[in-house]
C-alpha cells in the first residue's frame, strides 16, 4: 500500500510540470445537517468562498468561509420604529486545513482530498431597513451558538482554458463538531454534537 501511494504521487508530480500557487474559488450547493441536528434543522442552500496556497504540485493549504441559509427554519419579526423587521437564521463555517492533489494530464484535471479544523457558528440576523447605511438596528433577541470541529473534503475539477487559470469542479465537505449557546430554532440551549454534509459545485481562478 505504501509503495502504491508513493507511485501515485510520483506519477502526479510528473504530470504537473507547472502549477499556480494562488487559487481562489467560489461555489454553491446544498447542505444537509446530521448528528443531533438531523431532526431539528433541514436541508438548505450553501454558498462559500475558499483560498488555497499550493506550495507543491501535490499539496495545498486551504482557508475558507461557508454559509448556509435558513437551515434552522427561523422566521420571526422584531417590532421597531421602522416597522416589523424580519429575523432569519444563518449557519457559518470557517474551515482551515490542507489537501493532497493528484494532477492528471499535466494538471488539466485534479482529484483531491483533505482535512483540517473548523469554527462553526449559527446565529440569527435581522433585515436592516437601510442596507447601504452605517446605521444599524441591534437585535437584542437574536440567538447564537458556536463551537469548533473538523472537516474532511473530497472532490475533482477540470481546467476550462488552455492555460489552466480557470476551473470548474464538484466536491463534498463533511463537518463534525460541537456547538453550544442559545436555543436556535429547535436546537436546545446546550451543547450538541453536529454533523453537516455539504455538496457543492465550484468555479476557481488561479494565478
Span 60-80, average pLDDT: 94
Predicted confidence (pLDDT) at residue 171 exceeds the cutoff of 80: yes
What is the domain range of residue 132? 2-206
The 3-state secondary structure of 62-114 reads: EEEEEEEECCCCCEEEEEECCEEEEEEEEEEEEEEEEEEEEEECCCCEEEEEE
CATH of the domain at 72: 2.40.160.20
The whole-angstrom separation of Cα 113 and Cα 170 is: 12
pLDDT higher than 50, residue 8: no
Average pLDDT of the chain to the nearest whole number: 91
C-alpha cell of 4? 502504491
C-alpha cell at 8: 501515485
Identify any residues that bridge with 27 across adjacent strands, giving them in sequence order. 48, 202
pLDDT in tens, 90-120: 999 999 999 999 999 999 999 999 999 999 9
Task: Return the pLDDT at 139.
Answer: 85
Q: What is the pLDDT of residue 2?
A: 54
Q: Cell digits for 37?
A: 441536528
| This prediction's pTM | 0.86
Question: Could you identify the residue written with the cell 438548505?
Answer: 44
Number of domains making up the chain: 1
- Residue 136: the pLDDT is 81
> pLDDT: is 35 or 2 the higher one?
35
**Cα 136 to Cα 1, 83, 139, distances in angstroms:** 58, 14, 9
Flag whether pLDDT at 16 surpasses 70. Answer: no
DSSP string, 154-199: EEEEEE-STTS-EEEEEEEEEEEEEEEES-BTTB-SS-EEEEEEEE
Are the C-beta atoms of residues 68 and 90 closer than 8 Å to each other? Answer: yes
Q: Using one digit for the tens of pLDDT, what is the confidence trace for 122-163?
A: 999 988 877 777 788 888 889 999 999 999 999 999 999 999
Amino acid at each position: 500500500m505504501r509503495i502504491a501511494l508513493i507511485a501515485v504521487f510520483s506519477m502526479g508530480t510528473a504530470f504537473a510540470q507547472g502549477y499556480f500557487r494562488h487559487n481562489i474559488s467560489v461555489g454553491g450547493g446544498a447542505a444537509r445537517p446530521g448528528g443531533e441536528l438531523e431532526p431539528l434543522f433541514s436541508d438548505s442552500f450553501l454558498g462559500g468562498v475558499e483560498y488555497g496556497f499550493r506550495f507543491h504540485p501535490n499539496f495545498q493549504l486551504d482557508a475558507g468561509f461557508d454559509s448556509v441559509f435558513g437551515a434552522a427554519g427561523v422566521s420571526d419579526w422584531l417590532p421597531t420604529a421602522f416597522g416589523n423587521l424580519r429575523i432569519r437564521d444563518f449557519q457559518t463555517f470557517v474551515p482551515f486545513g490542507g489537501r493532497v492533489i493528484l494532477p492528471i494530464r499535466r494538471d488539466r484535471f485534479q482529484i483531491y482530498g483533505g482535512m483540517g479544523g473548523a469554527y462553526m457558528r449559527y446565529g440569527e440576523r435581522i433585515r436592516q431597513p437601510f442596507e447601504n447605511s452605517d446605521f444599524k438596528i441591534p437585535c437584542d433577541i437574536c440567538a447564537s451558538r458556536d463551537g469548533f470541529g473538523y472537516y474532511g473534503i473530497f472532490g475533482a475539477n477540470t481546467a476550462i482554458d488552455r492555460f489552466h487559470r480557470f476551473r470548474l469542479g464538484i466536491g463534498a465537505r463533511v463537518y463534525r463538531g460541537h456547538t453550544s449557546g442559545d436555543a436556535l430554532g429547535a436546537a436546545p440551549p446546550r451543547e450538541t454534537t453536529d454533523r453537516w454534509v455539504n455538496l457543492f459545485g465550484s468555479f476557481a481562478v488561479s494565478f
